[in-house]
Amino acid sequence: MMKTAQEYIESMKNFNPRIFLGGKRVNLFENPTTLTVIKANARVYELSQEPAYQEIMTAVSPYTGGRISRCLHIAQSIHDLERRAEMALLTSQMLGTCNYRCVGADVLNALAGVTWEMDRDLGTDYHQRFLAYLKHLQENDLACSGAVTDPKGDRSKRPAQQSDPDVYVHVAEKKADGIIVRGAKVSQSGAIGCHETVVIPTMGMREGEEAFAVAFAVPNGAPGITYISQYTPFTAEREVVSDIRYLGNPEYGQRETCIMVFDNVFVPWERVFMCGETRYSGRLIARFAKTHRMNCGGACKVGFIDLIIGAAQLAAEYSGVQKAPHIVEKITDMIRISETSRACTIAAALKGSEEPAGSGFYLPNDIFGNVAKLTVADGFWEVMKWVGDIAGGMAVTMPSEEELNNPESGPYVRKFMCASAPAELRLRVAKFVQNWCAGLHGAGTWHGAGSPQAQKMVLYALTDLEEKKRLAKNLAGIKD
Ligand SMILES: Cc1cc2nc3c(=O)[nH]c(=O)nc-3n(C[C@H](O)[C@H](O)[C@H](O)COP(=O)(O)OP(=O)(O)OC[C@H]3O[C@@H](n4cnc5c(N)ncnc54)[C@H](O)[C@@H]3O)c2cc1C
């Protein structure tokens, strides 16, 4: 059965994850910043219950026969791919932060095909284990985060060459009933607020790196797991503000991530989906990247840009410049960037295909997915430039909305911050703009779903330059 938002919240109270934030141990529900992760997840559960969004937020599972969250669905068609991208777009529009189940959804999709192949080629039972786990997630409508990014240590060295092997998650010991894993994953979006986390290697492993070719699932706060949360100026601001409405994204805050430490964590065999099969680890991360770049890299950020465009238009109207030709042009440019990126994600879905052949699982087109992510990575800075321009200097120089409650400073702020709209509205929208253009989202969008250089390498490798040369030679009349 699919959970309501309230059922999700109640179910998370059964966990007591070991979370550190700002140097202190904090409680998931009591800390104002970690609470934003619970609220964002609860909103995603809520959206999944709304009839208007049923086609986007849910699907029918071929494994349980019931309606499930699309966050737990394995794409069975191009239609599913397109709906998945729409879900990323919708949740970003509604939250202005991460759908913290997004990475998990894409890891599950990558694991489906690779475990299927391993069972076919190697006679393992990884796929059966995976399907049993998937059914467990689907039947209980569990929130599942995805852990991919290792700390990686010295980037010029392979995992086995690192002075500390723990900078890549690896198998420390194999036992009769399971494995002991050690290491950490960094920049983990919302892992603190999810019931489960699925873990895969951050890159393809080679012979001799078997210990690092490991994929598995763990419940929130399993013994040996510690979460060390990010701490930013936004965290500090949330700790002191008297009313969260004065924050840039009041309910859902920033994209909250953490370092997830695995200090000798026991994983039973039924939750292990790869253990030493280096030859399959490369395609696992490649398939994850393929789907994640369409969803997180592309569609999700289009949803963010929609919010930024809306705020830019409001800011222009509140200060009375909305008809100025250069403002109209800048808003139009932002729309162009947003719609180009969106078109790439739709193309990635529509040009998707069954992979591996015969599995019944679908993945997006790699070229369009990578182009979607690259277009957004560049375009997002451009969009932030324009919204900063349109909102004026007050996007970064504004006083707090708290001043309006102060009998001494409030009247001045009302008087001098008023334009074609009252000070309250101008301050509120400026703060919303500040959240985007002077916040964490630029670098976040750049690196989320992989730093752009990774996409450029894929793009270059996948493009058939011989065919393009042949076309040019043909018209230019060049004979070999
Ligand atoms: C907001 C946000 C949310 C995220 N959420 C998640 C999540 O939920 N789960 C998850 O698993 N990950 C998550 N990530 C991690 C994300 O996938 C990584 O940030 C990304 O893959 C880049 O890795 P890195 O941060 O270690 O950067 P680095 O690897 O340190 O990259 C920095 C620079 O070094 C370059 N570089 C790196 N290695 C090499 C090399 N060998 N040779 C040449 N150049 C190199 C890169 O191209 C880049 O220019 C998130 C990231 C962000 C910003």
Report yes or no: 376 and 297 within 8 Å, Cβ to Cβ.
yes
Q: Which domain holds residue 297?
A: 283-476
Task: Output the CA 6–ligand 1 centroid distance in Å.
Answer: 34
Residue 19 covered by a domain? no
Task: Output the CA 16–ligand 1 centroid distance in Å.
Answer: 29
Query: Closest by alpha carbon to 95, among 339, 261, 399, 303?
Result: 303
Ligand 1 atom with minimal separation from the 452 CA: 47
pLDDT, position 293: 95
DSSP string, 361-416: -EE--HHHHHHHHHHHHHHHHHHHHHHHHHH-THHHHPPPGGGGG-TTTHHHHHHH
Report yes or no: 384 and 308 within 8 Å, Cβ to Cβ.
yes
Task: Output the CA 450–ligand 1 centroid distance in Å.
Answer: 5
**Mutate-to-test residue for ligand 1 from 92, 106, 107, 149, highest number of ligand atoms within 8 A of CB:** 149
Closest CA to ligand 1's atom 36: 155
Distance (Å, rounded) from C-alpha 261 to C-alpha 172? 14
Task: Output the CA 148–ligand 1 centroid distance in Å.
Answer: 10
Residue 75 covered by a domain? no
Task: Output the CA 258–ligand 1 centroid distance in Å.
Answer: 14
Distance (Å, rounded) from C-alpha 87 to C-alpha 355? 21
The string of pLDDT tens digits covering residues 427-443 is: 999 999 999 999 999 99
CATH code at position 348:
1.20.140.10
Report yes or no: 101 and 142 within 8 Å, Cβ to Cβ.
no
Residue 363 covered by a domain? yes
Ligand 1 atom with minimal separation from the 453 CA: 47
Mean pLDDT by 10 residues, the chain (480 residues): 97 97 98 98 98 98 98 98 98 98 98 98 98 98 98 98 98 98 98 98 98 98 98 97 96 97 98 98 97 94 98 98 98 97 97 98 97 96 97 97 97 98 98 96 94 96 96 95
Region class of 183: left (phi > 0), else alpha (psi between -120 and 50), else beta: left
Contacts of 106 (CB under 8 A, 6+ apart): 146, 288, 291, 292, 295, 296
Tokens 């192949």 sit on residue: 117
Q: Which helix (H) or strand (E) holds 217?
A: strand 214-219
DSSP string, 233-289: HHHHHHHH-S-GGGSSSTTT-S---EEEEEEEEEEEGGGEEEES-HHHHHHHHHHHH
Task: Output the CA 394–ligand 1 centroid distance in Å.
Answer: 32
Query: Closest by alpha carbon to 416, among 392, 399, 435?
Result: 399
Task: Output the CA 184–ligand 1 centroid distance in Å.
Answer: 14
Q: Which residues of 295-331 are buried (b: 16+ CB within 10 A; e: fewer)?
A: bbbbbbbbbbbbbbbebbbbbbbbbebbeeeebeebb
DSSP string, 142-174: --EEEE-----SSTTS-GGGSSSGGGS-EEEEE
Residue 451 covered by a domain? yes
Distance (Å, rounded) from C-alpha 378 to C-alpha 336? 13
Ligand 1 binding site (Cβ under 6 Å of any ligand atom): 103, 146-149, 152, 155, 185, 187-189, 255, 257, 444, 447-448, 450-451, 453
Side-chain-side CA neighbours of 114 within 13 Å: the count stands at: 27
Q: How crowded is residue 446: how many other Cβ atoms within 10 Å of its Cβ?
A: 17
Task: Output the CA 196–ligand 1 centroid distance in Å.
Answer: 22
Tokens 């997915």 sit on residue: 369
Ligand 1 atom with minimal separation from the 189 CA: 8
Distance (Å, rounded) from C-alpha 313 to C-alpha 352? 35
Closest CA to ligand 1's atom 48: 451
Closest CA to ligand 1's atom 41: 155
Ligand 1 atom with minimal separation from the 102 CA: 8
Residue 205 covered by a domain? no
Residue 158 covered by a domain? no
**211, two tokens:** 């210990």
Distance (Å, rounded) from C-alpha 393 to C-alpha 470? 52
Task: Output the CA 47–ligand 1 centroid distance in Å.
Answer: 30
Closest CA to ligand 1's atom 53: 444
Total domains in the fold of the chain: 1
**Mutate-to-test residue for ligand 1 from 95, 254, 257, highest number of ligand atoms within 8 A of CB:** 257
Ligand 1 atom with minimal separation from the 152 CA: 26
Task: Output the CA 115–ligand 1 centroid distance in Å.
Answer: 25
pLDDT, position 480: 80
Please give the DSSP secondary-structure letter assigned to residue 202. Answer: S
Bond into 356 cis (ω within 30): yes
Residue 329 covered by a domain? yes
Distance (Å, rounded) from C-alpha 18 to C-alpha 220? 9
Residue 47 covered by a domain? no
Closest CA to ligand 1's atom 46: 451
Ligand 1 atom with minimal separation from the 454 CA: 47
Task: Output the CA 447–ligand 1 centroid distance in Å.
Answer: 5
